[in-house]
Chain A
Amino acid sequence: DQQVKQNSPSLSVQEGRISILNCDYTNSMFDYFLWYKKYPAEGPTFLISISSIKDKNEDGRFTVFLNKSAKHLSLHIVPSQPGDSAVYFCAASAGTYKYIFGTGTRLKVLA
């Protein structure tokens, strides 16, 4: 049973526009959420995180929103750039060192 779900396997966005990647979770014990970006033949790279006590965290072009009542988080990238083309993984933890990852969303930013 998958506790973290990324229902969109892929997403295409024009350069300069907003990219919105979504993630749903089922475990109400999750208290920390992260987004990782992965390029081919490389390991995942930490992008941004959010604690469950917040509903928004911003870092430059990247903003993560958390809606605890809906058990939903999203990553907004504004403006999107071709270099943002990668697979994005949502992950969550429940007060432990173990992350539960989603299956990833492949983002393609079109020039």
Chain B
Amino acid sequence: EAGVTQFPSHSVIEKGQTVTLRCDPISGHDNLYWYRRVMGKEIKFLLHFVKESKQDESGMPNNRFLAERTGGTYSTLKVQPAELEDSGVYFCASSLTGPYGYTFGSGTRLTVV
């Protein structure tokens, strides 16, 4: 079984540019999550999809962040325009049912310069 896959693994962009991160969850997993870890701090929740619906987006920092999950399969997280404080590692995770120990991807390291 393939794990959670994230693209790209690294991205370096200039302030003001747009970046789109992609996450492919484990096949069949209805629940998809985005988290972010900034500067070695805690891993913070961004949002949760159930299939294509946003179940909880309480952790999204502001309206520069847009997450989509068309068709309930892969998800994208777009940052537009990027700011310096958006730098960090963005993790995607998925689970089949329930919140009990979901599976994380390797993350996308975003650096805004």
Chain A proximity of B69: nearest CB distance (Å): 14
Render A86-97 as a binary contact track against B, CB cut-off 8 A, 1 for contact.
000101010011
**Which size class do B's interface residues fall under?**
20 to 34
Give the one of A42, A43, A93, A100 with max B CB within 10 A: A43
Choose among A32, A46, A100 the residue with the greatest number of B CB atoms under 10 Å from its CB.
A46
Asked if A42 meets B106 with Cβ closer than 8 Å, knowing A34-B101, A96-B99, A97-B55, the reply is yes
Q: Which residues of B contact A4 (CB under 8 A)?
A: 42
Q: Does B59 contact A (CB under 8 A)?
A: yes
Chain B residues in 8 Å Cβ range of A49: 100-101
Interface size on A, residues (CB 8 A): 24
CB < 8 Å: which of A91, A98, A100, A103 contacts B41? A103
B53 located at the interface, meaning its Cβ lies under 8 Å from any Cβ of chain A in the complex: no
Least CB distance, A31 to chain B, in whole angstroms: 11
A32 with B99, Cβ < 8 A, contacts A43-B107, A98-B59 known = yes
Segment at the interface with A among B11-19, B43-51, B72-80:
B43-51
Minimal beta-carbon separation of A1 from chain B (angstroms)? 12
Interface string of B84-113 (1 = CB under 8 A from A): 000000010101001111111111000000
In the A-B complex, the 7 residue pairs with the smallest Cβ-Cβ separation, listed nearest first, are: A43-B104, A46-B101, A101-B43, A97-B99, A101-B42, A103-B42, A98-B45
Residues of B within 8 A of A (CB): 4, 31, 33, 35, 40-45, 48, 55-56, 58-59, 91, 93, 95, 98-107
